[in-house]
Amino acid sequence: MSILVDKNTRLLVQGITGNEGLFHTTQMVEYGTNVVGGVTPGKGGEWVLDGKIPVFDSMKLAVEATGANATIIFVPARFAADAMYEAADSGLPLIICITEGVAVQDMMSVRTYLDQKKTRLIGPNCPGLLTPGESKVGIIPGNIAMPGNVGIVSRSGTLTYEVLYAMKNVNMGASTCVGIGGDPVNGTNFIDILEMFEHDPKTEKVMLIGEIGGNEEEKAAEFIANKMTKPVAAFIAGRTAPAGKRMGHAGAIIEGGAGTAEDKIKALENAGVRVAKHPEELPSLLK
């Protein structure tokens, strides 16, 4: 049992013939992910990875031919919204969009559209998902994590890698790691994933990695206080960030005094969450 992706995930790769798409498809296949096909308009009929993976012109054709149940998007930002629309129209229940730099206006339209569908979007501008030992869907390095009972949800890709590696060094494994991305408008938020972890029998503890900007961490704190029975530890990046300056992610900006690290940490601590001062401290807080 895990959330979102496992050994039964049948994955399509949109943008599979591009440099990024092909590189990360190779990494995912080597990890053991079941990549059943790729989609690049105009390249239908071709094969990649030494003839192992077929390429289709459209998502509709790819889903019909392969029985896929998830897709990952590696296309340039200007085409990402259309790729998400096409994936949703193909009837897939799960879309993971790695692309960064997708316009906020585009994402507002995509999110409105997806809310009318039975489709879950992870991202954009995220590292994807990893269920150690089963399926790697995205760009999280597979060799830094081991199977276990800790669920991880994060707005930051690189901090996720740091925490997974710190966990492995103390023989602590993950059930599923979910990078939700740091853009102002995305498909899935902290509460969505926390709720999944709460109901996942394989997940016994949870780590939340947040950052400055917005109020998603405060909302998560309220959910943890009222709905969660499993222990949660957290880290909030950006304690020393100056107000009004965007730090890293498009969503990581403090405006009007809202979205500060102090506010988030206080809300989480009030909800009974143990908050680390440094990301590598997280495993010890859940030991």
Nearest 10 degrees: Cα torsion 218, 221, 225, 231: -170
SS3 185: coil
d(CA 151, CA 3): 9
d(CA 181, CA 213): 13
Q: Is the backbone of residue 272 left (phi > 0), alpha (psi -120 to 50) or beta?
A: left
SS3 110: helix
d(CA 96, CA 10): 13
Active site residue 249: yes
SS3 275: strand
CA angle 192, 196, 200 (to 5 degrees): 170
Question: How many Cα atoms occupy the beta-carbon half-sphere of 160 within 13 Å?
Answer: 29
Question: Which residues fall within 8 angstroms of residue 14, CB to CB, at 6 or more apart?
Answer: 21, 38, 39, 40, 59, 71, 72, 73, 74, 75, 83, 86, 87
Question: How many Cα atoms occupy the beta-carbon half-sphere of 59 within 13 Å?
Answer: 22
Both structure tokens of 57: 């012109």
Helices then strands (H, E): number in the chain? 9, 14
Q: Which residues are catalytic?
A: 249
